[in-house]
Structures are given as C-alpha cells and as structure tokens.
A and B are shown apart, each in its own frame.
Chain A
Amino acid sequence: MPEQLFQFLVTGITIGSLYALVGLGFALIYNASDVVNFAQGEFVMLGAMTAIALLNAGLPLLVAAVIATLLTVGVGLLLERFAIEPAAGASVVTTIIITIGAAIFLRGVALLLWGKDFHSLKPFSGDAPIQIGGATVLPQSLWVLGVTVVLVALVRAFFNRTLLGKALLACAFNRTAAQAVGINVKVMLRLAYGLSAGLGALAGILIAPITFSSYEAGVMLGLKGFSAAIVGGIGNPMGAVAGGVLLGVLEALGAGLVSSGYKDAIAFLFVLMVLFFEPTGLFGHKASERV
C-alpha cells in the first residue's frame, strides 16, 4: 500500500508540474494586467502539436522543441499585440472575453492544420520504466520534473535578481508608480505574454509523450492551470507552482484511491473548497507576497 501511494505521488507530481507551468503562465499575465488569459491552455496545445508536426517533418527532437516554443512565443506576442493591446483601456472582463475568443480561434486553426486526430510525441529518452523505491517511473516523468524545476528556478531568479523582472513586478504592485519611474507597461505586457506562451509551449512539449495531444487538449489543461493559479492565490507565481503540484497530487490520489473517472471532479471540488474557505488562495495575494 505505501508503495502504491508513492506511485500515485510520482504520477501526481508529474502531472502537477505541468499544471504548475500553466498556472505560472496565468499568474504572469494576471500580474501584469489583472487579466486571466483563457488562451493559456492553447499555448500548451500549440507547443505540443507544433513540436509533433515538426518532428514528423523530419527535424530532430531538440530542434523541433525549440522551434515549436519560439513559434508559440510568437503567437503569444501576436495575441498581445493584435487582440489585447488594441483593447487597452477596456474593462478587465472585456479583455478576458477577448482571450476566450482568441482561444477558440487558436483551437480552430489547430483543427484546420492537424484535424481531430490524437497525436503523440515519442518519449525523449525511450520508454523503459525505471524502478525507484517500489514505484515505476517513466523516464519522461523525470524529464517533466527536471525541466519544470529548472524553469521555475529561472522564473524565480528572473523576478528576484533582474531589474527587468522587478520592473514587471512593479507593474503588478502599482501601475501608476511603474509608469512614473519610466517603465513602459506595454513592453512589460508583451514580455508577460511572451513568457507565458513559452512556458505553456514547453509544458505541452514535455507532456506530449505521456498524454495524447489534439486540437482540444488545451481546454482541460487551461482549466487545470487556472485552478492551480487560483489555489496558489492568483498573481502569486510561486503560489501557482505550489498549487499546480498540489492539484496534480490530489488528482492522482483521487484517481488511484477512488476512481479515475472522478479525477477532474476531485480537482475542481478542491478548487471550490479552497475558494470557499480561503478566497485569496492558499498562498496569499500578489501584493502581499514576495516571489
């Protein structure tokens, strides 16, 4: 039984890492603009699907992954420039609806490009399971974990150690003051969208060998990432990471101990409970929290 629990934990942390990266993307954009970007899940889908297409076209995995990430960053920047920026000054709700529209549009484009079929990426280092402490771990899980740890550390260092990162935070804390010291908030917004898109794409590429991907894959992932961000206290980047891992683990435990049919329901029930008892999330609100 403890071995089984350990197995669930490994599965949960793997999928939770993915939610963490998607949640981090939500938090970045929320911080910069108070907007929840519902196209975040589509970044994940685009990263995965583009990487798969490029790999099938004969490119090596690493090259395909890099190009897919850069292309998705490009899509994020285009979204910001041509859908978000023209609506500057519109209400937050309006902007959120724009992101929902963008998500539907991106899904449509993916449907046209790749059809309704499910696609899969071959694992980065084979699929021979590794035995760790009685649990079976896929090499791809280690990739997911390792890259997530590195990405989260990089994002942390970006906020804690670079002036650009602090400028982005400053926009979240006090936009007027940020403008008054000469920070170009438009540039910061583009940066947030570009970063979020890149994180989303990498998450999609990492997970593509484990779960199948299709034009619709972003919908559920987006919701889970959004949940992670809410659980963590939306706008708190490291809270979103913790929220994602927590969500993944709960899901895996629920699927393993109760029934896999309930895993999404368990995740969303958990989010509702967090919102009910701790409306600002488990890890506090953006302005009161250092990353």
Chain B
Amino acid sequence: MPSEISSAPAPPAAGGDRLLEVIGLSSQYGPVRAIHQIDLGVSAGELVAIVGGNGAGKTTLLHTLSGLQPASAGRISFDGQDITRWPPHRIVAAGICQVLEGRQVFAPLTVEDNLRLGGYRQRRDSAWLGQQQERVYTLFPILAERRRQLAGTLSGGQQQMLAIGRALLGRPRLLLLDEPSMGLAPLLVEEIFRVIVELNGRGVTILLVEQNARAALAIAGRGYILETGRIAKTAPAAELLADDDVRRAYLGY
C-alpha cells in the first residue's frame, strides 16, 4: 500500500526538484540571533535529519519553516512557491505539518478530538479524513483503543504517537518532526523511529530534527549538522555517521 498514509499527491516541484528550498534563512528573538544564513533543501520522498545539541537552533528553524516564528532574512520556497511570510494556517494548508517538540497534544481533549483538530484544514474533505483517521489508528493501535480518553492521560510515548497522528491528519506533503525521541525510553524511541521509517517508505517526505544524532542519522538519507544557528556540515547520513568530528561531538565515541 504505497503512499497511502499521506495520499497527498506530491507533484514535481516547479523550478528544480526540491520540494522545500531554503536559502539564507535567519531568525532571531529580539537581539538574540537563533539561526543564521541557513541553506537547506529537501526533495520529495526524502528523509532528511538535522542534528545538533541543545540550543543549536533546531526548533527555531522548524518554527520558521512552519510560520510560527518570523524569518528575519532569507527565503523559504515550498513546491516552487515563496512561503516565507505566509501565516502558519496557510502553510499547514499547503502541506507542511509540524510535530512540535514535547508533543503538545491538547491535553483536556480526547484522542479523537486531537486527531480531528489535526485535520482542521482538511475539514471539508470528510471522506479523506475518515480514511486517514483509520490509517492512523492502524499505525498506532493503542490510539484506537484510547480514542475516547483525554490526551493528557496518555503516557509520553502515546502522546508522541498522537502528536504524529495529529500531524498526519493535516495531509502532510512535508512532515516536520521536532525531537520525537525526547524523554522516551529506548524501546519507545525504537518504536517511534520504526514508524518514521515506515511513513517515509509510504512516500511521506520527512524533515527530522534530533539531538539523538545516532538514531536520526541511522534512518535518514541525508543529514545536516546545526551548530549555534549555522549549518556546520551536510552530507549523506552514512558519511556523517563515519565522520570523526561528528562522532566526537555528537555520537560520543
């Protein structure tokens, strides 16, 4: 069942084959510069990892891509369109869906309501939403069992599954994942990463941000190393895993 989970067609991007093209992107909090002159690209079907330590600017980068944080310079184009100054709801509608750092499910609402809100921009396509919801429940059977339960009562791992499911209901053409392994036991991390690989295998384009460099680079095709707001290095993930500097700084051996 290829590309079923997304079922959003990813036509070839106009002007090159990059689905996402970022050029010279900077963003700051007041005078504090968080990311600086970022160049980055993601092609349709890829799984790309961005790794970096705490405070490197990973979350800021994703927030800038999804419109939650304004860019102070540079350009973001998605599917050939300049989306740099678009508001978040328009970016979601265009197909960039973000799984926020720390899950951030709507705790006082049920699992099902969280998923329905994930599909907010697709609300007129109830047939697709119904199918996609069933696919998410197939992907995460535990969510189906707990669909009437309040999201706040779920365990950390289940909340992460719900956060991913919620983003999938947004019909992503590009899925942004912000540290999905954060705070999870190793077994759960494995489970979440297995799902990420599976989603990518079904055609969902993924940009994965992680402090857990080893796990992220192990499943990614390409990777970027982010250091103090700048891209320090980019290469195929296998090369980064073998790189001495990367190993010393991020893999701890």
Contacts and interface: CB of A to CB of B under 8 A. Distances in A.
Interface of A: 163, 166-167, 169-170, 173-174, 176-184, 287-290
A166 B88 contact: no
Nearest to B66: A180
B33 interface: no
B68 A170 contact: no
B236 interface: no
Contacts of A179: 67-68, 88-89
Contacts of A169: 106, 108-109
Contacts of A289: 108
Interface string B198-216: 0000000000000000000
A180 B92 contact: yes
A163 B170 CA distance: 14
A175 to B, nearest CB: 10
Q: For this complex, into which size category does the number of interface residues on chain B fall?
A: 20 to 34
B120 interface: yes
Given A173-B109, A177-B105, A180-B92, A166 B98 contact: no
B92 A166 contact: no
Interface string B87-111: 1110011000110100011111100
A35 B108 CA distance: 21
A176 B104 CA distance: 9
Given A183-B117, A184-B89, A177 B123 contact: no
Nearest to A174: B104
Given A163-B116, A170-B117, 20 more contacts: A166-B113, A166-B117, A167-B120, A170-B109, A174-B106, A177-B105, A178-B117, A179-B88, A180-B97, A180-B100, A180-B167, A181-B97, A181-B167, A182-B88, A182-B93, A182-B120, A182-B121, A183-B120, A184-B87, A290-B108
Interface in B157-193: 166-167, 170
Interface of B: 66-68, 87-89, 92-93, 97-98, 100, 104-109, 113, 116-118, 120-121, 123, 150, 166-167, 170
Contacts, number: 71
> Which has the most chain B C-beta neighbours within 10 Å: A169, A180, A183, A287?
A180
B123 A180 contact: no
B113 to A, nearest CB: 6
Given A163-B117, A163-B123, A180 B105 contact: no
A174 B123 CA distance: 20
Contacts of A178: 117
B68 A176 contact: yes
23 contacts: A163-B123, A166-B117, A167-B120, A170-B117, A173-B106, A174-B106, A176-B68, A176-B104, A177-B100, A177-B106, A179-B88, A179-B89, A180-B68, A180-B98, A181-B166, A181-B167, A181-B170, A182-B120, A183-B89, A183-B120, A184-B89, A287-B107, A290-B108
